[in-house]
Amino acid sequence: MARPSVVSEQLPLPARLRRARLRQSPRIDRNKVGLAAMLFAFFGIFVLALTAAGAVAGAMVMRLATGGADPIAAVALVIAGASGVSMVWLARGFTRQLDVDYDESIELTRQSEPRLFAFLDDLCERTGAPFPDHVYARPDVNAGVFVKYSVFNPFRPSEQHLLLGMGLINALNRTELEAVVAHEMGHFSQRSLWMHHHARLAAGLLAEISRCCDAAEQLACRWRASRVPSRVGARVMVALAVVTRRSAERVHQKLEDLEAAVSRRLELQADRIAVNTTGSEAIVRAVERVQLADRCYGQTLYDLEHAAGRGLRTEDLFYHQQQLVERMHQRGETGDDPTEPGDTSHPSPAIRQDQARAACRPTRLDDRSAWTLFDDPAALRRRLTDRLYHTRFDATLEPNSIDDVQAFLDGEHAELLLSEDDRRLYGHRFIEIGELSSAIAEAETLDWSDDELADRLATLTGDQFTEAIRRVERNVNGASSSAEEDFRWLADRDRRLLIAMLRAAEGCSDDSADELVRRYQFHLHLQDSIRWLRTNTPAIANIAAAGEAGQLDVDEQLLETIRVLYDGLRRALHQSPPPPRLHGLSPHQPLSMVVLDSPLPDEQPLQTGQLDDEWLRTFIGRWQQACEALQHLRWKSLGALLLYQRQLQSRIE
């Protein structure tokens, strides 16, 4: 009896496709030619600069060796030192490696995962791709190739690594995984893949040049503002720094545009190999599943971070990701968010799916989970989860049962996971109602019948809800010429919805109206606090940057700035209304204890002007923690508020 195949059974394909290597298109790709020419020119100039710096340094050293006590020796020494430093800096940047962070990765071997490697052997043979030198498992939703190039060997064989994200494995069946891995094998066969590495290397060097020019310009500006004679050199230095930085920025932008265009073409070529290997439907389904799996993975990491703050640790993050995927499926959610910018280096999912369908290749689906390719998936999931806690979360926590952690996450999701329409409406804006007290007073003067109230709520949550989404999205996409008008219309709708909800709450016999007011008071305070923090975060960033550079001058003006920031943060945390009923929070717990794990630093050094680096680091750390925690609370409060309002509306219908 024949041994069953480890890959899903496929319909017969022509022999030329079973062993076909991915070939470049015979047509000339102008973007590819332009990118190659730009890279060769850039690195050529880099080599010339390196050579020139070395030559100048050598010439100055020779001049010193033969000049004796020549008065020009001091100048030659300065030039030789500057040229030598430039040569070392250029050489370091020229030879540096771009590497992948393997802290969260586990290497898989043929001995530990024989079924997976048999699966990969089969795919390599069918695509004609070389077998990867190393295979790594990662926790994220991704599959990728990584080639260890250096700048000196773009045409020599280099180590090829295959990265398999277990968050991706968690979402696919075996045929869909075949399509994804066949796509990555297609990348292994692409002759121009070296361009991607060198474009990233050049982009990093250009960014570093821009940073050095910024530092040189700041130094020259201080020199020019001083009373030191001969400030002409400072002006020349500023001009050179500005011209060099602007040139580097323009080259950087052009390089990124060309690299993105070439990457999109390479992605579509790799998709064609996947379609030829596994059929059209496999890659279409994989693209759909990957989007939702990636969104759920990101949400799961966010959830587990907050669970860790509550002393909860899971043994299997992939279980919670899968539970969230199923919840999203039940709600009819997808991974696509039209308000989020796409990755310009990859073709859109719609383009990839259209190309796959156009090929009309049959697919024989194998619906077994991709986890069946692993010998001990439970152990691998635990190891990767443990690795993630050591790199991102609190590794000292003792693991809790999966059910206990999931129960906590379910309570969080009831408030945090907005519907797709709610995300589109509130994801990029705050609720604007004006003065809460005036809205309450206006609601008390109205005397609507039940039918009138139901009609108004139906309009506000129906046609006007749809219109509100349309107005928000046209402003997010920058397509609106009437932003101010849209803002006023949306604020007016928010206010009218609150008034209608207050009338609905007054019709209930319990304390629904008081509860609704408490929720609005707390939510509006969070919004105001977040606005203030966002406005003043650049000042905190400047103080932190100056402190790290050792250039922080604690004068009276700086002290006054820090006092204003300290008082504003203290008011945000200590003058808050009590939190309403929210999952995981006590109604009587002060906001400062919810947001910060430690109190603000003592105010006495700030009042006396005796600040030190430790005090500043502590204050900046508390500021950053407050920004993140308040934003999290804002989403919880918003979700709970919308849910509460819908419950009120359902009680009068």
pLDDT at 67 over 80: no
Report how far residue 621's alpha carbon sits from residue 623's, in angstroms, rounded to the nearest whole number: 5
**What is the distance between the alpha carbons of residues 622 and 573, in angstroms, rounded to a whole number?**
11
Q: Within a domain: residue 6?
A: no
Cα–Cα distance, 426 to 472 (Å, whole number): 9
Please state, in angstroms and rounded to a whole number, the distance separating the CA atoms of residues 342 and 365.
30
Q: How many residues belong to the chain?
A: 653
Q: Is the pLDDT of residue 218 over 70?
A: no
| 191-220 mean pLDDT | 67
Angle between helices 450-460 and 613-652 (to 10 degrees): 130
Contacts of 36 (CB under 8 A, 6+ apart): 192, 195
Q: Is residue 85 part of a domain?
A: yes
Same domain, 527 and 430: no
Res 25: pLDDT: 43
Bigger pLDDT: 187 vs 289? 289
Q: How confident is the model at residue 188 (pLDDT cuts 50, 70, 90)?
A: confident
pLDDT at residue 6, rounded to an integer: 36
Residue 232: its pLDDT value, please?
62
How big is the CA angle at 66 (ends 65 and 69), to the nearest 5 degrees? 90
Q: Tell me the pLDDT band of 233, cut-offs 50, 70 and 90.
A: low
Residue 104 domain-assigned? no
Cα dihedral 561/567/572/574 (nearest 10): 160
Regarding whether 253 and 217 lie in a shared domain, the answer is yes
**AA letter at 615:** W
pLDDT of res. 77 = 53
pLDDT of amino acid 145: 79
For 308-340, give the DSSP string: HHTT---S-HHHHHHHHHHHHHHTT--S--TTS
Find residue 160's DSSP bridge partners. 147
What pLDDT is recorded for position 484? 87
Question: Residues 345-363: pLDDT tens digits?
Answer: 677 888 888 888 888 888 8
Q: Is the pLDDT of residue 31 over 90?
A: no
Please give the mean pLDDT across all residues of the chain.
80
Task: Determine, yes or no, domain membership for 529.
Answer: yes
- Whether residues 494 and 568 share a domain: the answer is no
- Token pair, residue 359, equals 């090929």
The span from the CA of 407 to the CA of 435, in Å, is 38
Q: Tell me: pLDDT of 229 over 50.
A: yes
Structure-token pair, residue 362: 């049959």
Residues ≥6 apart with Cβ < 8 Å to 477:
none
One domain for residues 533 and 489: no
469 compared with 187, residue with greater pLDDT: 469
Residue 535 and residue 499 share a domain: no
Please report the pLDDT score of residue 91 as a whole number.
55
Residue 580 domain-assigned?
A: yes
pTM confidence score: 0.75
> Are 502 and 561 members of one domain?
no
User: What is the edge-to-edge ordering of all strands in the sheet holding 143-147?
Assistant: 106-108, 134-138, 160-165, 143-147
Judge contact between 310 and 402, C-beta under 8 A. Answer: no
**398 located within any domain:** no
| Residue 9 clears pLDDT 50, i.e. is over it | no
Residue 441 and residue 491 share a domain = yes
Domain holding 44, by residue range, is 30-97+198-258
* Distance set, CA 358 to CA 21, 280, 282, 354 (Å): 21, 8, 13, 6
- Of residues 229 and 105, more confidence is placed in 105
Q: How confident is the model at residue 493 (pLDDT cuts 50, 70, 90)?
A: very high
Compute the average pLDDT of residues 499-524. 89
* Confidence category of residue 607, pLDDT binned at 50, 70, 90: confident
**Domain match, 494 and 532 both:** no
Which two tokens mark 338? 């039209």
Alpha helices (H) along 507-555: 512-548
Distance (Å, whole) CA 425 – CA 476: 11
pLDDT of residue 7: 36
Q: Is 106 helix (H, G, I), strand (E, B) or coil?
A: strand
Whether 455 and 480 map to the same domain: the answer is: yes
Nearest to residue 552, comparing CAs of 539, 561, 562, 543?
A: 543
Residue 372 is predicted with a pLDDT of 93
pLDDT at residue 482, as a whole number? 80
Q: What are the tens digits of pLDDT across the range 243-276? A: 777 777 787 788 878 777 777 888 888 888 888 8
Q: Identify the band that residue 190 occupies on the pLDDT scale cut at 50, 70 and 90.
A: low
The answer to whether the CB of 524 falls within 8 A of the CB of 436 is yes
- pLDDT recorded at residue 168: 92
The pLDDT > 90 percentage for the chain reads 31
- Residue where the block lists tokens 């939510």: 523
CA neighbours closer than 13 Å in the CB half-sphere of residue 181: 32
CA angle 630, 631, 637 (to 5 degrees): 85
Secondary structure in 3-state letters for 121-163: HHHHHHHCCCCCCEEEEECCCCEEEEECCCCCCCCCCCCEEEE
Instruction: State residue 267's pLDDT score.
Output: 84
Query: How far, in Å, CA of 79 to CA of 481, rounded?
Result: 56
Is the domain of 475 the same as that of 534? Answer: no
**Hey, CA dihedral for 180, 181, 182, 186, is it positive or negative?**
positive
| pLDDT(518) > 90 | yes
CA distance 415 to 440: 25
Distance in angstroms (rounded) separating the CA atoms of residues 496 and 503: 11
Contact indicator for 147, 197 with CB cutoff of 8 Å: yes
Domain total in the chain: 3
**The pLDDT of residue 501 is above 70:** yes
Task: Specify if 535 maps to a domain.
Answer: yes
Question: What pLDDT sits at residue 61?
Answer: 66
Give the pLDDT score at 252: 77
More confident residue, 52 or 646: 646
More confident residue, 103 or 437: 437
Among residues 234, 258, 282, the one where a domain terminates is 258
Q: How far apart are the first and last CA of the chain?
A: 66
- Residue 648, C-beta contacts closer than 8 angstroms, at least 6 positions apart: 501, 504, 505, 508, 512, 516
- Band of pLDDT at residue 150, cut at 50, 70 and 90: low
Token pair listed for 180: 């994804």
- Residue bearing the bigger pLDDT, 434 or 149: 434
pLDDT band (50, 70, 90) for residue 22: very low
pLDDT score recorded for residue 548: 74
Q: Are 1 and 260 in contact (CB under 8 A)?
A: no
How many other C-beta atoms lie within 10 A of the C-beta of residue 630? 22
Most confident of the following: 58-67, 234-243, 533-542, 553-562: 533-542
Which contiguous run of DSSP H or E holds residue 165?
strand 160-165
Assess if residue 564 is contained within a domain.
yes
The top-scoring range by mean pLDDT among 175-179, 257-261, 417-421 is 175-179
> Under a CB-based contact definition with an 8 Å cutoff, are residues 466 and 531 in contact?
no
Alpha-carbon span 469 to 424, nearest angstrom: 6
Phi, psi of 301 (to 5 degrees): -60, -45
Predicted confidence (pLDDT) at residue 23 exceeds the cutoff of 50: no
Q: What angle do CA 124, 130, 134 make, to 5 degrees?
A: 95
Residue 340 confidence (pLDDT):
53
The single-letter code of the amino acid at 382 is: R
Of the given ranges (334-348, 354-368, 432-446, 598-612), which has the lowest mean pLDDT? 334-348
- For the segment 387-412, what is each residue's pLDDT rounded down to a tens digit? 999 888 877 889 999 999 999 999 99
Same domain as 223, residue 246: yes
Q: Higher model confidence: residue 57 or residue 27?
A: 57
Is the same domain home to 205 and 254? Answer: yes
**Confidence grade of residue 237 (pLDDT, cut at 50, 70, 90):** low
